[in-house]
Amino acid sequence: MNPHVQFLDRPLTRRVSVGVPVGNVLVGGAAPVVVQSMTNTDTADIDGTVAQVAALHRAGSEIVRITVDRDESAAAVPKIRERLERLGIDVPLVGDFHYIGHKLLADHPACAEALAKYRINPGNVGFKDKKDKQFAAIVETAIRHDKPVRIGVNWGSLDQELLTRLMDDNQAKGFPMTAQEVTREAIVQSAILSAELAEEIGLARERIILSAKVSQVQDLIAVYVELARRSNHALHLGLTEAGMGTKGIVASSAAMAILLQQGIGDTIRISLTPEPGGDRTREVQVGQELLQTMGFRQFLPVVAACPGCGRTTSTVFQELAQTIEGDLRRNMPVWREKYPGVENLKVAVMGCIVNGPGESKHADIGISLPGTGETPAAPVFIDGAKAATLRGPAIAADFQVMVADYIEKRFGRGETA
């Protein structure tokens, strides 16, 4: 065997970070990687924001960030918190502040109290002599309310004074670094210097999370590897402006998978631009699937479905795989409570006899549908043994009933094997 080939099925070593409690969720330390998301409603629209936070949380978001950009939205925050609590939703809310966060937090103490964490962008917390003063004001509010802070650097709003200073230093040394390298260095330094300042003001390291978001995959990897090397702060991973649809999903997954595999990252957010009228919960689904597909966390039962090929000309198996997956996802918020361990279930939906029986036997419950020219019969395998053969037009519905029965029998008594 080539000695350079290694098979990796887990992060090399999870980087040891300082755990930060965000409401009832621990980020970093020994906690599993947390999936979070952000609303795109106007926070002053209390009904709309409550509905979207609830939807994101139902989809599995463990922390939800909301924009706090003006007095009306700051005033709405405690009302949103109260409404969520009445609905039995205790998901931590994070306030996203830019430019006037110090003022909003001072003028709206109920907002400062209702939030579980404040996000500060050191690139736009204030300018010139006001910068450190306003940064300190937010940090002091966090200390007073015993809240953690995320120091969230963003490529698009990078501290220009710091960048200019590093560019000048680089020039004075005869340009040993490229402009891209200097910019990456400025991003890392902005996060680390801001964290040092927050600690000098009195905020404990157990109350600080760092992020350094950029929009290019290679930049993100380089910046986070360096951030992880130079600090032990909990890290929030995210590719900013990842884009729409498959582009955003692939770019975010590629960047984050490489970092997560190296043990870097304590919480993730997938920043997808939704299609007009699109479903905001997609970013939560992608985050969960990324962690699950890499074997780091288990959120949902797995549905293994073959891609189909010329041996099957009908779409029955695609429709069945989609229906089963949709059913599982829709029912999970209730099933998680009712059927402990159900997220470990493996279902197979296969298109023909070539790989169908084999793959189905490896699943907890699997069906091998008939391919073109095969006898119109669909064997079902349960725990590796053939349990039934389905025939006729109701194969899909019959299999759905069998899956539901299997879940009830295996997980209904709390068995988690």
What residues line the site for ligand SF4 (CB under 6 A)? Answer: 306-309, 311-312, 350-352, 354-356, 371
In the complex, least distance from residue 358 CB atom to ligand SF4, rounded to whole angstroms: 9
In the complex, least distance from residue 352 CB atom to ligand SF4, rounded to whole angstroms: 3
Q: Are 228 and 188 in contact (CB under 8 A)?
A: no
Copy the structure tokens of residue 148.
């953690």
In the complex, least distance from residue 320 CB atom to ligand SF4, rounded to whole angstroms: 13
Q: How far apart are CA 298 and CA 288, in angstroms?
A: 8
In the complex, least distance from residue 306 CB atom to ligand SF4, rounded to whole angstroms: 3
Q: Which is nearer to ligand SF4, 235 or 380 (CB)?
A: 380
Q: Which is nearer to ligand SF4, 294 or 321 (CB)?
A: 321
Q: Which is nearer to ligand SF4, 67 or 312 (CB)?
A: 312
User: Exposed, middle or buried by CB within 10 Å (0-12, 13-18, 19+), for 402?
Assistant: middle
Q: Which is nearer to ligand SF4, 95 or 351 (CB)?
A: 351
In the complex, least distance from residue 369 CB atom to ligand SF4, rounded to whole angstroms: 8
Q: How far apart are CA 242 and CA 249, in angstroms?
A: 8
Q: Which is nearer to ligand SF4, 23 or 308 (CB)?
A: 308
Q: Which is nearer to ligand SF4, 220 or 350 (CB)?
A: 350
Q: Which of 229, 231, 224 is nearest to 193 (CA)?
A: 231
In the complex, least distance from residue 347 CB atom to ligand SF4, rounded to whole angstroms: 15
Q: Are 8 and 261 in contact (CB under 8 A)?
A: yes
User: Exposed, middle or buried by CB within 10 Å (0-12, 13-18, 19+), for 328?
Assistant: buried
Q: How far apart are CA 5 and CA 7, in angstroms?
A: 7
Type of residue found at 207: R
Q: Are 39 and 73 in contact (CB under 8 A)?
A: no
